[in-house]
Amino acid sequence: MYIEDLVKRKNLKLTTARIEILEKLLRATKPLCYEELKDEISMDKATFYRNITKFEEKLIINSFESNDKKRYFEVNQLQHPHFICSRCNKIECIKEPLNFNLAGYTIENIILKGICKECNQI
């Protein structure tokens, strides 16, 4: 029901492809790229990206590019920063509150890069 309401509120047609993409992204515990989703969805790459573009235009999803030059996607629910490890390329959602304020700016996304906990122990 949530997906139907979300898509209809944004004046988009509810299609099987859109439902499928949003279901996968809503169940994910971290942002996902096309390569992580392609075996779980029943559509070609062009259909996937056509829908992703619409979702981004309507602010349903957020996306960012990682160190591996892949684009990662997540449903736009609660704004939160992400950490990308420079060694293993793992992406983590940061749950701890970070307070970034820049006078006159609207911050939409915060990407932190560095060495993750696991790689720091090696």
Indicate if 71 and 89 belong to the same structural domain.
no
Judged against a pLDDT cut of 80, whether residue 1 lies above it is answered with: no
Q: What is the pTM of this model?
A: 0.85
Judged against a pLDDT cut of 90, whether residue 39 lies above it is answered with: yes
Task: Check if the beta carbon of residue 3 is closer than 8 Å to that of residue 22.
Answer: yes
Q: What is the pLDDT of residues 73-106, one digit of tens each?
A: 999 987 889 999 999 999 999 988 887 788 999 8
* 32-33 and 61-65 beta bridge pairing: unpaired
Q: Which domain holds residue 22?
A: 2-75
Indicate if 87 and 71 belong to the same structural domain.
no
Indicate if 11 and 35 belong to the same structural domain.
yes
Q: Mean of the pLDDT values across residues 100-113?
A: 87
Task: Check if the beta carbon of residue 107 is closer than 8 Å to that of residue 81.
Answer: no
